[in-house]
Structure 1
Amino acid sequence: MKTIAISILGISKDRRGKGDKRWDKWRPNISMCQHDDLLIDRLELLFDNHSKNLADQVTEDIARVSPETEVVHHRINFADPWDFESVYSNLLDFARAYNFKPDDEQYLVHITTGTHVAQICLYLLTEAGYFPGRLLQTSPARKHSSLPGEYQIIDLDLSKYDQIASRFQREHQEGTTYLKGGIETNNLAFNQMIEQLEQVSIRSDAPILITGPTGAGKSQLAQRVYELRKQRGKLEGGLVAVNCATLRGENAMSALFGHRKGAYTGATTHRPGLLMEADRGLLFLDEIGELGLDEQAMLLRAIEHKRFMPFGSDKEVSSHFQLIAGTNRDLVQLCQEGKFRADLLARIDLWTYRLPSLRERLEDLEPNIDFELEAFSRKSGHLVSFNKAAREKYLSFGRSCEASWSANFRDLNASILRMGTLADGGRITTQVVEEEIHRLRIKWQGTQSQSSLPLQRLERLLGPDIYRTIDYYDQIKLATVIQVCETSSSMAEAGRKLFHVSRKEKRSNNDSQRVRQLLEKYHLNFSMLCKWHKNNKC
């Protein structure tokens, strides 16, 4: 494979005196072709119209020191070699017109000559792949050395540098751990979401939309995103958080966008507004679906143009803020009902993340219990913990279908707070847990949705120990199969209902066998389900 170097002619560095004296000094494009361990098969030499004589001289000198190197001239006229836009455009045009042959040739982009602007442009174009090669940096030899100089080849594929790759990985892990509040969570979908959110938080300042039920942790996550961006130098300003459900009428407009003195009755002083307070920082608008349509229109303009009109003013002001919006409502449905602007939704849902409920993350219940216990211990000033039997009893109840966790992590926080307060000597006993379970059962009465009933019945059928070993996805499937079986007169009828599409693609329909295999996987059979159904109707 041939080695091709692309280099700009050094107007001063490649000249270095007249006559034979030029050989007494280091010249980058000449020395590049003098290394025994770096054979340049072809040099693509870039220069402007005023440097033709020097280019010819350099070509002759290269022929003397490296006759196997072919030098090809390319005239590129930089109107202003210090104008970034002009230099970049000219070099980009050259790259696009050049016939690269990466299967047959390897390319080295020499970044020692040319203005600093040209060197930066060559770096950027190589990083972006317009020059499909590696960077070549040359330098004079050290004192008292007989070598023609030194060189270093730099590969911009950072994944090839183990130390850099491990550093990136370590910083990524630190960021994701920080966003999770230091809790080692086990839910795969949640962990994958947080990993991507860490990347977005560092690399983008576009709006982020966090959805999910009340109490799932939207406010805490927004706080951590802000703190992570602040740590990494992505923000200068502060965090401004507001619950939009508390904003109504003129107060909403004034609170968000500010007002001028006398804008309305009672406006006795100037008010900058929350958007202005968030300048160069982060604005968290929780429950954004509660905003009125007028406020939504002004917010859209503020997001897109970073400018808005304070209430009662005739002059726009500007604020450069990043927006994180939170909601527990279906914004798409609100748009269909005319209660939320579709253009605003389109602007804020570039990065949308749904926080799952605690009920959807029961594998994370135990680490969150430990987190809440540690927080309570720090606040109370003494260590609080469960005894073994009490911990197992609380976990068993918390993972059962009885535990709706309707307020999500707020329920868990309040529960640990109560038990910690009642724990004599810092030990949460079985009696304390039983009292707490009783409180939670009363609290959650009437909150169980119809959709959760099949899972409750499945847990009763299998028993809590077996039930907890089955993935939530498989629990839903199995509960559906059981429901269908209980409402069918035979396995064949159940099979026809369950496999109404795929059965048409089979030559022989053995619906009973398919149902039997599904049930036997969990040590169940059709007659057992029929008998259990008669005795446990609910």
Structure 2
Amino acid sequence: MDRKRVVIGFLGTTLDAGRHNRFERWRPSVDLFLHPELPVDRLELIHGENSASLADRVVGDIAQVAPQAEVRRHLMPMKDPWDFGEVYSAMHDFARTYPFDTEAEDYLVNITTGTHVAQICWFLLIEARFVPATILQLSPPRRVHESETKRSSYSVIDIDLSRYDQIATRFRRDRDEAASFLKSGIATRNEAFNRMIDRIERVAIRSKAPLLLCGPTGAGKSQLARRIYDLKKSRRQVGGPFVEVNCATLRGDSAMSTLFGHVKGAFTGAAQDRAGLLKAADKGILFLDEIGELGPDEQAMALRAIEEKRFLPVGSDREVASDFQLIAGTNRDLSEDVRAGRFREDLLARLNLWTFDLPGLADRPEDVEPNLDYELDRYSEREGSRVSFNREAREKYLAFATSSAAAWSANFRDLGASVTRMATLAPKGRVDAETVDEEISRLRRGWGARRDKREAELLELLGPSGLAEIDLFDQVQLAEVVSVCRREATASAAGRALFAASRAKKASANDADRLRKYLARFGLDWSAVRAMTP
């Protein structure tokens, strides 16, 4: 049995009426049947209620030029043919109910007629395979010279992207370049990290919602935020600047002014108006690093600015607008801060739509080597001289840097400083084994000093003999408890921080009392621990 060719298309209210054409009465729905090399067995003609009389004329004209062809009319009422949602819904319903028979029929969709919105919807429905068809585009006849007119033409287009290796390859390359862009071109090898960067890239391109970047100090939050901005700017998704604020540096009355601005005379020393950093980030990206360090008043103002894109400068009774995208960074557990009353729950809820946890360098040992090369390149660009490792030195350094002995407590800041030291001391621009040995010793001492700080605190509290009587297991736990006590202002606040999980389960009736009992096990009390605070 011969397969039938079926064309589906809209009635052209202008083109099929024969108006506004370069040549008299070229009508695409009729022209379909004037190409012997493309025989059409059936036309599925879609039209609206107001075009019934034109549809009658077109069907009659087709019967004259192709009496063997069949024309089926489909009424598709639409209030606004330029409303994307309405048009797509109507066309989707048509596609869902149409009895496609791909075993016996080949389908073409004529995009020559219909609005641009309808053309886009045809592309979407065909690519999603709701309509198992290829695209047909007709072109009117063109004048060769005064006495001759060339016949009309057509093109058949298959938009199944999987059949176009070149396009698919380019798409993958563009996607990979975007992910590499966020990684500063570093060929990272950690699969979990690479998957996270892929996700960040998709979210950054498609969304203006806040992003929350979590991770330890030196994990690269600030650099990643800047690269997200550069990526969005390269795609013309932002027009304003990148404004970075380290919230840990905002203290006292100046914090509100720095962020939200002030008007002249708002306070002593306010000699002129100040726009503030949130206003400076208008149409761009605002990066609030260490957002957990914001005070309660600044948190409340920031929440309103994020939600409404409006805020009040200090001393002003007139609101200011700023349309920015927020990226926030933190090395703290903001959920824990919420439970301890240090961070607003509603602000965290607003930030927590897209949260990404950046791992420390010690958790990505396979990425030490590519980052080592990156830091060497940065040094060369900065200092104008090329430095490299000899083979023995490189192997020795990487063996240590990827081992459990490498704490990388400051993460990429540690690595960058380490490379700078070795490159500076490298004889004749070549890092040798002796230079590496010296650097490894220095790193060990530095990390050891940081670990020894808590041990020194316990020595101060308990004395050598007291500390010697406590198991190492208990020493580690006690050191953490002491650290929390020194950070919090009251025993109740420290208890809430330490026993948050049991509080949530209502298993802890009095956090402060529980803390005091724990300290008493080691002969300590709250006042003794707090007395150590500088």
Question: Structure 1 length normalisation: TM-score?
Answer: 0.74
2:99 to 98, 101, 115: 101
Whether contact under 8 Å (2:44, 2:72) holds in the other structure is yes
What residue identity is the alignment partner of 2:138? T
Please give the per-residue CA displacement for 1:231-286, whole angstroms capped at 9, x wherever unaligned: 12211111000111112343222222222222233322211111111111111111
Question: Hey, what does 2:478 align to over in structure 1?
Answer: none
Partner of 1:528: none
Of the three residues 10, 13, 21, the one matched with 1:11 is: 13
1:335: Cα distance to partner?
A: 2.1
Deviation per CA, 1:210-250, whole angstroms, max 9, x where unpaired? 11110111111111111121112211111000111112343
Query: Structure 2 matches for 1:19-418, cutoff 5 A?
Result: 25-36=25-36, 38-76=38-76, 84-85=82-83, 89=86, 92-93=89-90, 95-96=92-93, 99-102=97-100, 104=102, 108-116=108-116, 119=119, 133-141=133-141, 149-418=152-421
Instruction: Call closer, same or farther: CA 1:30–1:437 in 2, change over 3 Å.
Output: same
Greater mean deviation of Cα atoms: 59-68 or 369-378: 59-68
Paired residues of 1:245 and 1:290 also in contact (CA < 8 A): yes
Partner of 1:488: none
Seen in structure 2, the aligned counterparts of structure 1 residues 246 and 156 have a Cα distance that, compared at 3 Å, is farther
Q: Which residue of 2 is the match for residue 502 of structure 1?
A: none
When residues 62 and 366 of structure 1 are mapped into structure 2, their CA distance, relative to the original with a 3 A threshold, is: same
1:503 alignment partner in structure 2:
none
Percent pairwise identity? 54
On the 8 A contact 1:208/1:323 being kept in 2, the answer is yes
Q: Is the 8 A contact 1:244 1:290 kept in 2?
A: yes
- Structure 1 residue runs without a partner (length 5+): 18-22, 450-538
Change over 3 Å in CA distance of 1:271–1:40 after alignment to 2: farther
**Mean alpha-carbon deviation: is it higher for 401-410 or for 241-250?**
241-250
Answer yes or no: is the 8 Å Cα contact 1:404–1:447 preserved in 2.
no
- Cα distance, 1:91–1:235 mapped onto 2, change above 3 Å: closer
Alpha carbons 2:182, 2:228 under 8 Å: kept = yes
Following TM superposition, by how much is the alpha carbon of 1:127 offset from its aligned partner in structure 2, in angstroms? Answer: 6.4
Equivalences for residues 415-434 of structure 1 within 5 A = 415-434=418-437
3-state DSSP class of the match of 2:33? coil
Aligned residues of 2:78 and 2:86 also touching (Cα < 8 A): no
Aligned residue pairs total 441
Deviates more, 1:146-155 or 1:421-430: 146-155
**Offset of residue 148 of structure 1:** 6.2
Q: 1:367 to 1:313 in 2, by over 3 A?
A: same
Deviation at 1:91, TM superposition (A): 6.0
Given the superposition, is the C-alpha separation of residues 306 and 36 from structure 1 closer, same or farther in structure 2, using an over 3 Å criterion?
farther
Greater CA deviation, 416-425 or 100-109? 100-109
For structure 2, the residue ranges without an aligned partner over 5 or more in a row are 453-534
8 Å CA contact retained: 1:376, 1:417: yes
Distance 1:47 1:266, change over 3 A: same
Q: Structure 1, residues 372-417: CA drift from partner, whole Å, max 9, x if none? A: 1222122222221222222222222212222111111111111111
| CA positional deviation for 1:442 | 0.9
Q: Measure the CA separation in 2 of the matches of 1:336 and 1:37.
A: 75
- Quote how far apart the aligned CAs of 1:419 are: 1.4
Instruction: Tell me if the contact between 1:88 and 1:121 (Cα under 8 Å) persists in the aligned partners.
Output: no
CA distance in structure 1 between the partners assigned to 2:129 and 2:279 by the alignment: 41
Q: TM-score, normalised by structure 2?
A: 0.74
Secondary structure, aligned partner of 2:253:
helix
Residues 59 and 291 of structure 1: CA distance in aligned 2, closer, same or farther (over 3 Å)? same
